């Protein structure tokens, strides 16, 4: 389904919008905090909407866009922070497994719905680079892989997104395809030895001897130290910055930052 944030005259639509936002008037909700970020209460509204139904999720995000929120910030702030908040609810037993599973599915579905609009803003053609972005076996951070793939695709990368059932599945893919970059989403319970061994096997299997490896996700302990000890070339941050750093790493050239990627100070 294509996401369409265009105005509608449907009266029932605005009634539903008011209900989701929890305000007498939908337009009275404060979208940004004093730092210019999406306000915490808005993040909570999106997270709570994920626990109700898909239409409520869409309505919250539509209200942000109508209020002038850039789609990049919807991705980087709204979706990321809502995902983290839901993770906090799960860790504190505020929501059960079934509710959390459905809520995560709705957030993923929102990204799929937003994708055509997000990718339509691409300003460049294919850059000739290819990336494999994958969750490591047992990783629960598939949301990050999906978002990362959106930013890479928009900047011209050929992207393969994978959630392998086994490590052998990942190695088989690396052996048969050419990749300039492999990005791995690490899980919080994975050890240095485990991830280091995984990266070593990937490098050995890959026909590209200049392969670059980036890691991100729920990295345990000190992120910089973990990255160095497992032998990765790059530690990912948010999806926008990770793409820029990966491009510079692979090409050896500083990436140009289009105006749409520059946040106002």
Residue 48, pLDDT > 90, answer: yes
- Work out the end-to-end distance of the chain between its first and last CA atoms, rounded to an integer number of angstroms: 35
pLDDT at 120: 87
Residue 111, pLDDT > 50, answer: yes
Q: Are residues 62 and 106 in the same domain?
A: yes
Domain range for residue 135?
A: 130-256
Q: Are residues 113 and 150 in the same domain?
A: no
Domain CATH code at residue 231: 3.40.50.280
- Closest listed residue to residue 150, CA positions, set 128, 171, 133: 133
Q: Are residues 141 and 229 in the same domain?
A: yes
pLDDT at 73: 92
Greater confidence, 218 or 206?
A: 206
pLDDT at 171: 94
Residue 262, pLDDT > 60, answer: no
End position of a domain, from candidates 120, 153, 182: 120
Q: Are residues 180 and 147 in the same domain?
A: yes
**Number of other CB atoms surrounding residue 235 within 10 Å:** 16
Residue 11, pLDDT > 70, answer: no
pLDDT at 126: 75
Rg for the chain, CA atoms, rounded: 19
Confidence of residue 127 (pLDDT cuts 50, 70, 90): confident
């Amino acid at each position: 389904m294509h996401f369409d944030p265009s105005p509608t005259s449907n009266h029932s639509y605005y009634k539903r919008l008011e209900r989701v936002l929890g305000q007498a008037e939908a337009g009275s909700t404060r979208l940004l905090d004093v730092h210019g970020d999406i306000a915490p209460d808005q993040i909570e509204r999106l997270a709570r909407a994920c626990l109700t139904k898909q239409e409520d999720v869409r309505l919250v995000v539509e209200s942000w866009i109508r209020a002038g929120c850039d789609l990049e910030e919807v991705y980087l702030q709204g979706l990321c922070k809502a995902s983290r908040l839901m993770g906090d609810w799960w860790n504190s037993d505020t929501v059960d497994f079934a509710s959390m599973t459905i809520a995560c599915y709705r957030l993923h579905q929102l990204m799929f719905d937003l994708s055509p609009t997000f990718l339509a803003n691409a300003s460049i053609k294919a850059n000739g680079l290819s990336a494999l972005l994958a969750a490591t076996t047992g990783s629960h951070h598939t949301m990050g892989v999906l978002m990362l793939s959106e930013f890479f695709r928009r900047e011209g990368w050929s992207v393969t997104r994978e959630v392998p059932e086994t490590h052998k599945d990942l190695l088989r893919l690396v052996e048969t395809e050419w990749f300039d970059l492999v990005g791995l989403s690490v899980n919080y319970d994975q050890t240095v030895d485990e991830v280091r061994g995984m990266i070593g096997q990937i490098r050995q299997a890959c026909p590209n001897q200049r392969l670059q490896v980036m890691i991100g996700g729920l990295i345990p302990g000190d992120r910089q130290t973990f990255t160095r000890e497992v032998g990765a070339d790059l530690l990912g941050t948010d999806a926008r910055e990770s793409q820029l750093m990966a491009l510079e790493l692979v090409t050896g050239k500083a990436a140009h930052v289009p105006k749409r990627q520059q946040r106002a100070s």
